Every structure is written in C-alpha cells, then in structure tokens.
C-alpha cells in the first residue's frame, strides 16, 4: 500500500498497483460483473431445474401455484423495485458528494430489504404451518397432484437462495452506512456503493423472474 | 474522476415508475388467464423487459464500457447452453426410470 515516492500525490483510497483512480474503478466494476456472471449461473442451475420440471409436469405448476399468495408476491416485487431505486439514488448522491442523501437512501434500502424478508418470513411460516415443507418432509394434502412436493422444493430452494442474497445485501448496506459515517465516500471514491448497487440490482432481477414463475401461474 | 454517468432524479424515477407499472401489468395479465402458451409468453416477455430496464438504466450498462455488457450476455449464453443441452435429454427421455 505505501508508496513513498508518490504518497503525496496519490489519494488515500488508491492502491499502488493501479495507474489511477479511473483504472481502479473500472477494474473493480469489471470484477463485480464477473462475480455477477457466476451468480447468474449459480441461480441458473435452479432455473434449469425449474424449466425441466415444468416441462415434465405442466399441470403440477398450475395446481400448486394456487397455494402462493399473489398479493404478497406483488407487494414484495414492488418493495424490491423500490429498493433498487433507492440504491441507484444512493450512488447518485455519492457522485454528487451529498453525504446526507447517501445515508438516507441506504437506510431506506435496508428498511425495504427488511420489509421484503419479513413478508417472506410470514409466507414461509404459513407454508410450514400447513405442512408444506421441501422434499420428503412435505405432508400437505391439499394438492391432489402426486408430485406436489417438487413444486415446493423448487419454491423453497429458489426463494430461499434469493432470501440469503437479500440478507447478505442488508449486511453490505450496513457496512456501506458505517463507511459513509466514517466519511470514506465522495464523488472521487464511491466504488463500494457502485458495486454493491450492481449486486443489489441483480438480486432484484432474479426476483423479477421468480415472481411470475411461481406466483403468476393461474 | 471524469467520465462517470450521473443519472438524473427524473430518469431514475421514470425507470422505477415503468417497473412499477409493468409489475401491475403482469399481475393483471395473470388474472386474465390467457390460453396456454400465451400466459407464459406474456409473463416472461414482461419479466425480460423489466430485467433489461434494470440492467441498462439502474446498472448503467447503457453508458458503461461495452465489456461489462458482454460479460452479462456471456452469462446468458452459458445459461442457454445449460438449459438447451439439458432439455435435449429430459424432453426426449424414454420413461425407463419409473417416475422421479
């Protein structure tokens, strides 16, 4: 990190192995995109499983989807879109050096993410209450289809993995808040907010697909 | 740093508003119970359009270095390979294995 010859001209955030702040920013951002590629393929395995099973048992998905609450799913979609908007606003605030607005937008994002998880908690516990568990633990008798548990195994795996990503996102936002309070971000350096934003938008995009695939099959 | 795109409040609000309306639209279309292939086509069409809006204007790919967009497209390419090759097996499987 220490590079005495240029220490006076280099900003504190600039690592010595980068030519300048611009190159450091672009590298970080590209690295994040490479990570998002692995994330897409990580979820992609589950989406592939979904497609295979839906092709095998089209009737199952129509029958089982009725158990999911479309209203709660819609509210959660709007909540996540709202949080994507506030993250984008937080990045804008950082670019314009508006410290207070970074804090406000990150705080709203954390709040919306928590609302999402609370709604998800009520949805999941309601299912558990009915005996709708993944795999062999499935005991619900309300759906006549013999493969009913397959739909809910996919549901719990996909929304569960997505939920874990939301929780990680909340942790990242809290970390960003702390660093904002430390005064680390400005129009010159906002890389962590930018790439956390990319992650958060991807989590939003995943949900944009999960929502119609599970909730909107009538 | 120069060269970073700073989105305007208005633009971000318009994108968020479009995403809100498209969500309500896809729910509305869901209640219409369109005949078989059309319901899934409409739902996925709207979802892809929404995802594109997020990627282009929230994730800034519209103004970004093209390489990042190529990375995203490569992920979608590999995902298509995964799904395509898997379906070549599962769609044309003779039911030797009884039900799984």
ipTM given for this complex: 0.91
- Which one of B1, B7, B44 has the shortest CB-CB distance to A25? B1
CB A149 within 8 A of CB A127: no
- Between residues 64 and 123 of chain A, which touch chain B (CB distance below 8 Å)? 70, 74, 77-78, 81-82, 84-85, 87-89, 91-92, 95-96
Work out the average pLDDT over B68-89.
96
SS3 state at A182: coil
pLDDT of A68: 94
Distance from CA of A145 to the nearest CA of B (A): 13
pLDDT of A142: 85
Q: How many residues does chain A have?
A: 218
Share of chain A above pLDDT 90, in %: 82
Burial class (CB in 10 A: 0-12, 13-18, 19+), A193: buried
Q: To which H or E segment does residue B77 belong?
A: helix B66-90
SS3 state at A50: helix
Stretch among A33-37, A87-91, A187-191, B34-38 having the lowest mean pLDDT: B34-38
pLDDT of B1: 41
Which of A26, A31, A212 should we substitute to test contact with B (largest number of B Cβ atoms within 10 Å)? A212
Identify the band that residue B98 occupies on the pLDDT scale cut at 50, 70 and 90.
Answer: low
Residues 6 or more apart whose CB falls under 8 angstroms from that of A134 comprise A149, A152, A153, A156, A157
CB B72 within 8 A of CB B52: no
Distance from CA of A171 to the nearest CA of B (A): 20
Q: Please write the tens of the pLDDT for every residue from A120-165.
A: 999 999 999 999 999 888 889 888 888 899 999 999 999 999 999 9
Using an 8 Å CB-CB cutoff, list chain A residues near B68: 29-30, 33
CB A129 within 8 A of CB B38: no
pLDDT of B72: 97
Q: Does the beta-carbon distance from B6 to A92 stay under 8 Å? A: yes
Structure tokens at B36: 């078989």
User: At what angle are helices A21-56 and A58-65 packed, to 10 degrees?
Assistant: 100
* Whole-angstrom distance, CA of residue A44 vs CA of residue B6: 32
| A/B interface, count of CB pairs below 8 Å | 132
* Whole-angstrom distance, CA of residue B18 vs CA of residue B50: 8
Angle at A210 between CA A175 and CA A62, to 5 degrees: 155
Using an 8 Å CB-CB cutoff, list chain B residues near A29: 64, 68
pTM of the shown model: 0.91
Residues 6 or more apart whose CB falls under 8 angstroms from that of A131 comprise A138, A139, A140, A141
Cα–Cα separations (whole angstroms), residue A200 to A15, A85, A134, A150, B85 = 25, 10, 27, 29, 30
User: At residue A217, does pLDDT exceed 90?
Assistant: no
Identify the band that residue B96 occupies on the pLDDT scale cut at 50, 70 and 90.
Answer: low
| Among A167, A178, A159, A179, residue whose Cα is nearest residue A77 | A159
SS3 state at A145: coil
Burial class (CB in 10 A: 0-12, 13-18, 19+), B13: middle
- Which one of B15, B19, B47 has the shortest CB-CB distance to A209? B47
Q: Please write the tens of the pLDDT for every residue from A8-38.
A: 567 888 888 888 888 999 999 999 999 999 9
| Among A35, A33, A2, A34, residue whose Cα is nearest residue A17 | A2
Nearest chain B residue to A77, by CA: B23
């Amino acid at each position: 990190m220490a590079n005495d010859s240029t220490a006076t001209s280099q900003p504190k955030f600039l690592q010595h192995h980068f030519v300048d702040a611009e190159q450091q920013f672009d590298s970080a951002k590209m690295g994040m995109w490479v990570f998002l590629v692995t994330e897409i393929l990580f979820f992609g395995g589950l989406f592939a499983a979904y497609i295979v099973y839906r092709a095998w048992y089209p009737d199952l998905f129509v029958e089982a989807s009725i158990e999911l609450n479309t209203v709660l799913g819609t509210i959660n979609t709007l909540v996540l879109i709202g949080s994507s908007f506030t993250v984008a606003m937080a990045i804008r605030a950082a670019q314009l050096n508006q410290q207070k607005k970074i804090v406000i937008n990150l705080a709203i994002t954390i709040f919306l993410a928590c609302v999402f998880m609370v709604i998800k908690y009520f949805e999941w516990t309601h299912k558990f209450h009915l005996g709708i568990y993944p795999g062999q633990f499935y005991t619900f008798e309300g759906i006549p289809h013999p493969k009913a548990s397959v739909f809910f195994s996919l549901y719990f795996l996909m929304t569960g993995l997505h939920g874990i990503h939301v929780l990680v996102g909340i942790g990242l936002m809290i970390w960003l808040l702390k660093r904002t309070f430390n005064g680390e971000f400005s129009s010159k350096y906002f890389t962590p907010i930018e790439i956390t934003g990319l992650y958060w938008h991807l989590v939003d995009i995943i949900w944009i697909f999960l929502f119609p695939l599970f909730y909107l099959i009538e | 740093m120069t060269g970073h795109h700073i989105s305007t409040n208005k633009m971000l609000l318009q994108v968020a508003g479009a995403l809100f309306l498209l969500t309500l639209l896809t729910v509305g279309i869901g209640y219409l119970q369109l005949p078989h292939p059309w319901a899934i086509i409409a739902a996925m069409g709207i979802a892809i359009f929404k995802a594109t809006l997020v990627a282009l204007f929230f994730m800034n790919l519209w103004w970004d270095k093209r390489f990042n967009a190529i990375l995203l497209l490569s992920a979608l390419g590999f995902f298509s390979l995964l799904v395509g090759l898997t379906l070549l097996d599962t769609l044309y499987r003779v039911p030797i294995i009884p039900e799984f």
